[in-house]
Amino acid sequence: MSARNGKRSRIISTAANWSDLPRDLLYLISRCIDNEIDLIRFRSICSNWRSSSIPTHHTNILPFKFPLLKYVFSSYRESESDDDFSDCINDYKFSDSMNINDTNFPFEYLSKRSIFLIKPPQQQQTTLTRPWLIRFIQNSFGKTKIFQPQDTFDSLFPSFDYSNVLDFNELSVLHLGTDFIIEDEDDKHSDPHYHYLHPRTVLAVTCHGRKPLVLGAMCFITPRPMLLRDYDERWTPISSSTYYGDICVFKGRIYAVNIFGRTVVVGPSELTVQLPAQPSDPVSNKLLVESEGKLLLVELCESFPDFFGIDLFQLDEKEIKWVRLMDFDEKKNEWVKLRDIGDRVLFLGSGCSFSAYASELGLPKGNCVVFFDDSVLCVGNLNCGNCVFHLDQDRLSPASEYPEYLNLFLPPEWILKS
């Protein structure tokens, strides 16, 4: 093909006039924005941008009903001794989920929880203005508030009171993650013969122009099904015998890892793309987190109080396999673990794991992992407040030794003063 170069009548003037972009282009661009705050800002630029863009963000799926599967003790025992570890698959039978899409299937409303990194606008940033890792929660009835873990006994850091209005327009806001949780865990439906299965992590991914895919993972280690909601908003349970635990959004798709390290991409229909398992100890906890455009698998081995270790793997997208972050030591002629993620800090928790640079957070050093909720660590470590793991020291330290990490979740001075 060739273009006629002679006559070039441009409708575009030499200066690019962004506010006059065609409506359908602005619509397409607005659909690519991955969170609500950035979308609101996009829509506030000028009236043409506002009227051409999508009105609400795709992850705005509230009110959101999550179906509750029942699990029934297959043999209900009258007296249970202290050694009765009845949490194994053989003791439970999952209720028939064939009518899971019926309107009378038991459900619970979910709330949307988002985490943002807030800083003052660029020109006002100094070394004294540390950022704020703020978590918002919006329930299915529209009420929004700052999220704080309810059970302060299990919580690793002090609660705070903040009820001023935040003007986001003036702040630099970076969206770090969004997930969905059940806010009030009170057992409305309780019966000695069965329990309702509450989701541990619920994530949604949006696909251009379609309804979001939603996946709920029930539990961490013991086998429970995952529930997938497809583009037509229909729920499907995914095989319960595969012990899938942590799930994570990566490049627009949801990944799930099981206790053997086997990883799959879930949806749009059931499971696709399966990575071979990394030979590893099934007892270790496995968590997924995205960091700098790569998907990392974090394996934790905990034996309180003697031992706490972390192993890191990175997804090789070309080979479709996990690669242990190792370096080859020429002198010793052996592989050594790459115990260095540089300036990065990984924050691991249920549903909202993320990664950020220490310099961006105003922290003195990176190369560490912070557990910021009680979902991962064992009770012993939680009680001691041990939640900061420095990779170079190979040690899990109490939060009291490194208050600056968890203090990021408290409102900073410059916010309280305004």
Partner 1 sequence: MSKTVKDAIETIPTDEINSISLSLVRSEILTKVIEYCKKHNSAQMSDVDLMDWDVEFANVHYTTLFDLVLSANYMNINCLLDLVCGKIADMIKGKTPGEIAKLFDIKDVSTYEEDN
Taking CB under 8 A as the criterion, the residue among 72, 137, 166, 174 binding partner 1 is 174
Q: What is the dihedral of CA 301, 312, 244, 376, to 10 degrees?
A: 50
Stretch near partner 1 under the rule CB under 8 A, chosen from 171-179, 241-249, 278-286, 339-347 = 171-179
Taking CB under 8 A as the criterion, the residue among 125, 140, 172, 314 binding partner 1 is 172
Output the smallest distance, CB 300 to partner 1, in A.
Answer: 29
Name residues contacting partner 1, limited to 88-147 (CB under 8 A).
121-122
Stretch near partner 1 under the rule CB under 8 A, chosen from 49-57, 82-90, 331-339, 390-398 = 49-57
Q: What is the dihedral of CA 31, 32, 36, 42, to 10 degrees?
A: -80
Kindly report the length of the chain. Answer: 418
The partner residues of 144 in beta bridges, in order of sequence, read 138
Q: Does the protein bind partner 1 through residue 378 (CB under 8 A)?
A: no
Output the smallest distance, CB 53 to partner 1, in A.
Answer: 11
Q: Does the protein bind partner 1 through residue 190 (CB under 8 A)?
A: no
Helical (H) or strand (E) element with 146: strand 144-146
In angstroms, rounded to a whole number, what is the distance separating the alpha carbons of residues 225 and 216?
9
The sign of the torsion formed by the CA atoms of 359, 364, 366, 370 equals negative
Output the smallest distance, CB 23 to partner 1, in A.
Answer: 11
Q: Does the protein bind partner 1 through residue 45 (CB under 8 A)?
A: yes
Taking CB under 8 A as the criterion, the residue among 69, 115, 133, 173 binding partner 1 is 173
Nearer to partner 1, 8 or 143 (CB): 8
Amino acid 49 reads W
Q: Does the protein bind partner 1 through residue 4 (CB under 8 A)?
A: yes
Longest dimension (CA), the chain: 92
User: 5, exposed or middle or buried, with CB in 10 Å at 0-12, 13-18, 19+?
Assistant: exposed
Stretch near partner 1 under the rule CB under 8 A, chosen from 170-178, 296-304, 307-315, 344-352 = 170-178
Output the smallest distance, CB 149 to partner 1, in A.
Answer: 26
Beta-sheet pairing, 368-371 with 344-348:
parallel
In angstroms, rounded to a whole number, what is the distance separating the alpha carbons of residues 62 and 75?
38
Q: Does the protein bind partner 1 through residue 253 (CB under 8 A)?
A: no
Nearer to partner 1, 50 or 211 (CB): 50
Taking CB under 8 A as the criterion, the residue among 29, 62, 271, 378 binding partner 1 is 29
How many chain residues are in contact with partner 1, going by CB under 8 A? 50
The partner residues of 337 in beta bridges, in order of sequence, read 326
Q: Which two tokens stand for residue 412?
A: 């900073």
Output the smallest distance, CB 12 to partner 1, in A.
Answer: 6
Q: Does the protein bind partner 1 through residue 12 (CB under 8 A)?
A: yes
Output the smallest distance, CB 329 to partner 1, in A.
Answer: 29
Nearer to partner 1, 138 or 381 (CB): 138
The sign of the torsion formed by the CA atoms of 5, 9, 15, 21 equals negative
Name residues contacting partner 1, limited to 196-225 (CB under 8 A).
208
Q: Which two tokens stand for residue 313?
A: 């793997």
In angstroms, rounded to a whole number, what is the distance separating the alpha carbons of residues 103 and 99?
9
Name residues contacting partner 1, limited to 299-318 (CB under 8 A).
317-318
Can you tell me whether residue 287 is helix, strand or coil? strand
8 A C-beta contact, residue 304 and residue 331: no
Residues engaged in binding partner 1 (CB under 8 A): 1-5, 7-12, 15-16, 18-19, 21-22, 24-25, 28-34, 38, 40-47, 50, 55-56, 121-122, 169-175, 208, 317-318
